[in-house]
Amino acid sequence: MIKFFRKIRQNLLSEGRTGKYLKYAIGEIVLVMIGILLALQINNWNTARKNNQLQLTYLKGIQNNLKEDKAELNRHFKSDTLILDAYTYFMKANLKTVAVSEQELIPMIYKVFKTYWFEGQNVVFSNLTSSGDLNLIQSESIRIQIQKYYRLFVETEKQESWHNDQILALLKSLSKGINLYTFIEPTFEKRWQSYSGNPDISNFSFEEVNELTTLRLDTYSNIKSLIWASHVARLRLYQQGEILEKQIEDYLIDHH
């Protein structure tokens, strides 16, 4: 093609048709520029298409992570309810507002000596930020909600960690004088059991109210407040996740 154009120019010059040569040269330049612009436009279209596809991949990934977070948070909500029920039962038993049942007491003791941490799923968001691809998310409102959710995600983990550290310290003081091995050992398989008798609940006597009882009540109530604080933090994260998940779902439907 280049040789063809060169031959035409040479013929025009050899024939002395300078005016037509100039017009032809200008036309050739225009054609080349149009070709370059078309190539650039096609490249831009391809880049935009790839970026849009990557954006949708990120959003679907975050959507899946949000579903996993919600499932985990729901499990925590159930655990929070059971543990708060157990501590409330202990307090009411000490205050003699409920009748003590060994059948109910033992399962609740198992529950209160457990702590739970929210792990969450932020793999896609970490990839999104570390790669510098956050701006590929075209919707400004979704970008803001993503950043808001994962800031709250980190804050929830920090709050929960602090609350659990306090709970563990309180449980340590609460467990003094309690033969925990009588609760733990029966949970192992028979070959690893060093004790297979009934759990010792003698230290959970609710017969009289004394100074020790008051200390226990204070400890129970303090632990309840920490559990509730973690519960509220998780609930805020859950609600923020629902807002973000709905926005992403609507966006994906519109851009399918």
Q: pLDDT per position in the chain (256 positions), as tens? A: 545 445 555 554 555 555 554 555 566 666 667 767 766 666 666 666 787 889 999 999 999 999 999 999 999 999 999 999 999 998 888 888 888 777 788 888 888 888 899 999 999 999 999 988 888 999 999 999 999 999 999 999 999 999 999 999 998 888 777 788 888 898 899 999 999 888 887 777 666 666 667 888 899 999 999 999 999 999 999 999 999 999 999 999 888 7
Cα(154)–Cα(18) distance, rounded to whole angstroms? 74
Q: What is the pLDDT of residue 24?
A: 53
CB-based contact 213:94 (threshold 8 Å):
yes
Whole-angstrom Cα Rg for the chain: 35
pLDDT of residue 248: 95
State which amino acid sits at residue 170: L
CA angle 5, 9, 14 (to 5 degrees): 145
User: What is the rounded distance in angstroms from the CA atom of residue 62 to the CA atom of residue 53?
Assistant: 14
pLDDT score of 99: 82
Q: Alpha carbon of 68 to those of 1, 74, 152, 233, 253: distances in Å? A: 59, 10, 16, 17, 21
pLDDT value at residue 22: 58
Residue 193: predicted pLDDT: 92
* DSSP assignments along the chain, one per residue: -HHHHHHHHHHHHHTT-HHHHHHHHHHHHHHHHHHHHHHHHHHHHHHHHHHHHHHHHHHHHHHHHHHHHHHHHHHHHHHHHHHHHHHHHHHHHHTTSS---HHHHHHHHHHHT---------HHHHHHHHTT-GGG---HHHHHHHHHHHHHHHHHHHHHHHHHHHHHHHHHHHTTT--THHHHGGGS-GGG-S--S----GGG--S---HHHHHHHHHHHHHHHHHHHHHHHHHHHHHHHHHHHHHHHHHHHHT-
Instruction: Quote the pLDDT of residue 176.
Output: 74
Residue ranges of domains in the chain: 56-254
Cα pseudo-dihedral 99, 104, 105, 110, rounded to 10: -160
- CA of 12: how far to CAs of 1, 7, 16, 17, 19, in Å? 17, 9, 6, 5, 9
pTM of structure: 0.78
User: What pLDDT shows up at residue 39?
Assistant: 65
Say if residues 6 and 25 touch (Cβ distance below 8 Å).
no
- How high is the pLDDT of residue 126? 93
Report the candidate in 47, 129, 112, 93 with the shortest Cα–Cα distance to residue 209: 93
